[in-house]
Amino acid sequence: IVLVTGAAGQIAYSLLYSIGNGSVFGNDQPIILVLLDITPMMGVLDGVLMELQDCALPLLKDVIATDKEEVAFKDLDVAVLVGSMPRREGMERKDLLKANVKIFKSQGAALEQYAKKSVKVIVVGNPANTNCLTASKSAPSIPKENFSCLTRLDHNRAKSQIALKLGVTADDVKNVIIWGNHSSTQYPDVNHAKVKLQGKEVGVYEAVKDDSWLKGDFIMTVQQRGAAVIKARKLSSAMSAAKAIADHIRNIWFGTPEGEFVSMGVISDGNSYGIPDDLLYSFPVVIKNKTWKFVEGLPINDFSREKMDLTAKELAEEKETAFEFLSSA
Amino acid sequence: MPEPIRVLVTGAAGQIAYSLLYSIGNGSVFGNDQPIILVLLDITPMMGVLDGVLMELQDCALPLLKDVIATDKEEVAFKDLDVAVLVGSMPRREGMERKDLLKANVKIFKSQGAALEQYAKKSVKVIVVGNPANTNCLTASKSAPSIPKENFSCLTRLDHNRAKSQIALKLGVTADDVKNVIIWGNHSSTQYPDVNHAKVKLQGKEVGVYEAVKDDSWLKGDFIMTVQQRGAAVIKARKLSSAMSAAKAIADHIRNIWFGTPEGEFVSMGVISDGNSYGIPDDLLYSFPVVIKNKTWKFVEGLPINDFSREKMDLTAKELAEEKETAFEFLSSA
């Protein structure tokens, strides 16, 4: 049983079909799909439900549309929390955090009360890292490791920029890392990334031969890609976000390929990179048996150290602000 | 790995394309070992938005997408094509008469037909989605005389999938257990969803749909109306058209052309009516039941047609003939 929140919205519209057609959980895994959104969106959600029926997808055993948490969160195996309060014109960061703490505290409590304890929770709605931490704190009997947030879109964007630079396909680039917060302080790190050039695997720094680009424009391009897409499309990047969500969930479900690691926002407890505990921070991870582990022992140079600490600092401040509201939410 | 195929999608900055492009790029239409050069065409005012779509396709990191080209120029878009999916068309605006809509679209599809003739491979498969799909398809085909008429088809698969889904919901099975529904005629409100020859898998056995449903008046009444009006129902609920399910239907339609239809199953496609054995006049772009093999479709022959079906099939043929007449008034002046 898979829940998608914000189900009447743009990202869900691109995502639901991939979930229903077997490309996320496999071609022999039947699914009961639960769609949650706010009450004013029930009419639109009904239209989405009609379309899913018209897609005639054999794996979709049932589709349930609801605005009630006690229906939405019941017996869940997977929860994809896409819905969040969007930033409106004139809204301060504090206001955004306050509104979202309220939502994710409630949804965390609903997970605690109704979902299976084995539920995997993937948070997409921004601010993703802090929303994820809020939900986890509000669901204390669900293991912290079951909660993750999406930094896979930034990870895929980083791969794609390297691929475009070198004239290869994105599939030939692996082991990029996104450290930290899914925000403008994220650090796309290719110090440990490899690219397949003419059949041989080469380090990305070695292949690109342009350190100043890799430490400058490359990072900025990846950080600002979301804004660039919105500027061009006048809408947010639903297609590529949905693809990243599908990748993230598929890796949780089936594990990561041998020799490859991916980026996920996870609880920082026990990491060996000097990032403080109790933050929801994006790390390189490998996954096996639906369980992730930090990739250990990657050497960190001074340039990386500074950037990793900067994004950790932002996350600590975000957490502090958000948790002021947690008790009153 | 085979050579890349060149696939064009028009109306590429729009809703339906946005749901479709990802399926094309991820291998689920042409297969997991077929590399693709994806060409995106839209009108000049949409080039900014199209650039955003191109960025997103890059960010999807799809290994089969060898290249993505965004353009507003027909000579770039139609060059050396293997497949053309013509989604873009002039939408109906408030106050627009049917005649105006036909006139505007004849202009577009005459030009695109001529571009196919001039630039595309002669083997190109053309799938027309933009409405009025049947007449737009015929217009394009007439404007590309040296491309075989059989290479042109229009989408009625969405209606076909909707019909399957309504039967499945009625009987409490999944849509996959329903096969051989037929959509006859025009992709419009005169379309005729026919389940006289359809079968459903119930408790492991295959049963005729009329036999399984046991409600002839529903099958001849509300069922037909629901399928015919489903598009409007989705627009009413979503406030937007049914892009997701349309994209899925387009993917199904193309996949069947590419890989053939499964044994014992047929699908619905708008095709040139020449040589059909169902009494539909020649030279119409009409939806029929077809089987496909080696990228070539053939009419399903010999299905018995009762009086009820006969009347409905003729009604939609009549509408198509009138549409064709109106459209072709404009063809010479377009």
pLDDT tens-digit readout, A273-318: 999 999 999 999 999 999 999 999 999 999 999 999 999 999 999 9
The answer to whether the CB of B120 falls within 8 A of the CB of B78 is yes
Q: Flag whether A297 is marked binding.
A: no
Residue B18 exposed, middle or buried by CB count within 10 Å (0-12, 13-18, 19+): buried
Checking if the pLDDT of A265 tops 90, the result is yes
Residue B108's pLDDT is what? 96
With an 8 Å Cβ cutoff, are A239 and B18 in contact?
yes
- Return d(Cα A30, Cα A20) in angstroms, integer: 9
Q: What is the CA radius of gyration of chain B?
A: 19
Bridge partners of A174? A194
Question: Could you give the C-alpha distances from A10 to A272, B23, B46, in angstroms and in order?
Answer: 38, 17, 20
* Opening angle at CA B248, ends A163 and A11, nearest 5: 60
- Return d(Cα A159, Cα B66) in angstroms, integer: 15
Cβ neighbours of B59 in A, within 8 Å: 153, 156-157, 160, 225, 229, 237, 240, 243
With an 8 Å Cβ cutoff, are B49 and A234 in contact?
yes
Chain B residue nearest residue A14, CA to CA = B19
Mutate to test the interface with A, among B26, B53, B56 (most CBs of A within 10 A): B56
- Return d(Cα B57, Cα A172) in angstroms, integer: 16
Cβ neighbours of B253 in A, within 8 Å: none
Question: Could you give the C-alpha distances from A188 to A70, A221, A224, A257, A293, in angstroms and in order?
Answer: 39, 10, 12, 21, 20
- Return d(Cα A129, Cα A161) in angstroms, integer: 24
A-B interface: how many C-beta pairs under 8 angstroms? 134
Option in A14, A159, A229 nearest B55 (CB): A229
- Return d(Cα B16, Cα B155) in angstroms, integer: 13
The answer to whether the CB of B180 falls within 8 A of the CB of B160 is no
Q: Indicate if the alpha-carbon torsion angle B91, B94, B100, B104 is positive or negative.
A: negative
- Return d(Cα B321, Cα B69) in angstroms, integer: 38
Give the pLDDT band (50/70/90) at residue A259. very high
Specify the amino acid at residue A213.
Answer: W
- Return d(Cα B155, Cα A329) in angstroms, integer: 51
DSSP symbol at B36: E
Option in B48, B60, B174 nearest A240 (CB): B60
Option in A43, A169, A240 nearest B237 (CB): A43
Q: Flag whether B238 is marked binding.
A: no
More confident residue, B35 or B232: B35
Residue A191: other Cβ atoms inside 10 A = 17
DSSP symbol at B305: -
With an 8 Å Cβ cutoff, are A51 and B242 in contact?
yes
Cβ neighbours of B19 in A, within 8 Å: 13-14, 17
Residue B334's pLDDT is what? 63
Checking if the pLDDT of A137 tops 70, the result is yes
Per-residue pLDDT tens for B233-260?
A: 998 999 888 999 999 999 999 999 999 9
Segment B51-76 mean pLDDT: 94
Residue with tokens 């680009």: A213
Q: Flag whether A210 is marked binding.
A: no
With an 8 Å Cβ cutoff, are A233 and B52 in contact?
yes
Start-to-end C-alpha separation, chain B: 43
Tokens standing for residue A288 = 């096996």
Regarding beta strands A262-267 and A280-288, do their DSSP bridges make them parallel or antiparallel, or are they unpaired?
A: antiparallel
Residue A88's pLDDT is what? 76
With an 8 Å Cβ cutoff, are A239 and B60 in contact?
yes
What DSSP letter does each residue of A269-293 carry, written as one string?
Answer: TT-SSSPPSS-EEEEEEEEETTEEE
With an 8 Å Cβ cutoff, are A52 and B248 in contact?
no
Residue with tokens 């699908």: B267
Per-residue pLDDT tens for A210-258?
A: 999 999 999 999 999 988 998 999 888 999 999 999 999 999 999 999 9
* Mean pLDDT estimate for chain A: 94
* SS3 state at A220: helix
Cβ neighbours of B169 in A, within 8 Å: 53
Tokens standing for residue B267 = 């699908």
Per-residue pLDDT tens for B276-318?
A: 999 999 999 999 999 999 999 999 999 999 999 999 999 999 9
Mutate to test the interface with A, among B38, B51, B60, B230 (most CBs of A within 10 A): B60
Q: Flag whether A37 is marked binding.
A: yes
Per-residue pLDDT tens for B79-91?
A: 999 999 999 998 8
- Return d(Cα B117, Cα B94) in angstroms, integer: 34
Cβ neighbours of B172 in A, within 8 Å: none
The answer to whether the CB of B287 falls within 8 A of the CB of B253 is no
* Mean pLDDT estimate for chain B: 95
Cβ neighbours of B26 in A, within 8 Å: 23
Segment A315-322 mean pLDDT: 94
Cis peptide before A127 (omega within 30 of 0): yes
Lowest average pLDDT, out of A92-106, B51-65, B192-206, goes to A92-106
Residue A329's pLDDT is what? 63
Tokens standing for residue B95 = 């106050």
With an 8 Å Cβ cutoff, are A54 and B26 in contact?
no
Checking if the pLDDT of A327 tops 90, the result is no
What is this structure's pTM? Answer: 0.92
What ipTM goes with this model? 0.89
Residue A200's pLDDT is what? 94
Option in B26, B66, B244 nearest A55 (CB): B244
Q: Which residues have CB under 8 Å from B12's CB, separation 6+?
A: B21, B40, B41, B42, B50, B53, B70, B87, B88
The answer to whether the CB of A280 falls within 8 A of the CB of A121 is no
